[in-house]
Amino acid sequence: MHEVPHSFAPRCLRIAAAGDLHCCEPRAEEVRRSVHALDGAADLVLLAGDLTTHGEPEQGAVLARACESLDVPVFAVLGNHDWHANRARELVAVLESGGIRVLDREWVACEAGGLEVGIVGVKGFVGGFPGSHLPDFGEPLLRSVYGETTLEVDALDRGLREIALCPTRIVLLHYAPTEATIAGEPPGIAAFLGTDRLAGPIAEHEPDLVVHGHAHGGAFEGAIGQVPVYNVSVPVIGRDFWLFELDVATPARTPIH
């Protein structure tokens, strides 16, 4: 733990995070209640993909209506369920009508709770971990899967470089970047739950927090080096949202005489 210089004062950033909400019309009231419970409890909301059951815009509207009254920033990435209907562009438009900013290989700097926060949002993709890596070899279709993951890794690296000077830096993913948070899932599906190729930029740039979803049977907590990584899939956290309290060092204000 590094000592905070005397010219900086500690502040607490409250982050509500969840993945795999799988919204649909029959669950509309349940979703509304869970989101409205965040009023006054969080400074920032992160949604780690699989926002809908099948990627239909009407399902996204359930979440958009629930979030439209929140007065804190809400950021999301899409998951595999959100791509299923092949209507991602329509889905994103509906989500953003409710104030949800969907990040797709993008980064953003925003103010949350009076603090500057940099967020990199990429879906991530498949590829596996030691013992289950998909190769960049063979049929063009297989190599295109590898190439798709490369685009996600490159976007993650680029985004972390862009927010390097932000006091607080967060990575929002859907797929897992470490084996630690898929522990408990059947080993045979490891290649489809994420890839440690995503860990490279995280280990290099050392953001303050990484959250992801997707691995319903995985573990909650892991790490990449000194960087904490959390699987906030709703089946894993066992609640609607997990609330993180992140200590942030902020410059002390100098009185004007």
Domain boundaries, the chain: 10-251
pLDDT of 9: 54
- The alpha carbon of 227 is separated from its chain's Cα centroid by a whole number of angstroms, namely 14
pLDDT of 138: 96
**Is residue 240's pLDDT more than 70?**
yes
State the pLDDT confidence band at 250, using cuts at 50, 70 and 90.
low
Cα angle 232, 47, 35; round to 5? 100
Strands, E assignment, 94-226? 100-102, 106-112, 115-121, 168-172, 209-212, 221-224
Which residue is listed with tokens 């009254």? 69
- Regarding the domain delimited by 10-251, which CATH topology (the fold level of the hierarchy) does it fall under? Purple Acid Phosphatase; chain A, domain 2 (3.60.21)
Distances in whole angstroms, Cα of residue 38 to Cα of each of 15, 46, 111, 160: 10, 12, 18, 28
pLDDT of 11: 83
What is the reported pTM?
A: 0.93
pLDDT tens sequence across 170-228: 999 999 999 999 999 999 999 999 999 999 999 999 999 999 999 999 999 999 999 99
CA dihedral angle for residue 108, residue 110, residue 113, residue 116, rounded to 10 degrees: 90
At residue 106, what is the residue type?
E
State the Cα–Cα distance between residues 44 and 250, nearest whole angstrom: 17
Q: What is the mean pLDDT of residues 70-97?
A: 98
Contact indicator for 176, 215 with CB cutoff of 8 Å: yes
- Partners of 245 in beta bridges: 14
pLDDT of 10: 63
Contact indicator for 215, 187 with CB cutoff of 8 Å: no
pLDDT tens sequence across 120-150: 999 999 999 999 999 999 999 999 999 999 9
Contact indicator for 75, 18 with CB cutoff of 8 Å: no
Q: What are phi and psi of 54, to 5 degrees?
A: -135, 10
State the Cα–Cα distance between residues 112 and 118, nearest whole angstrom: 10
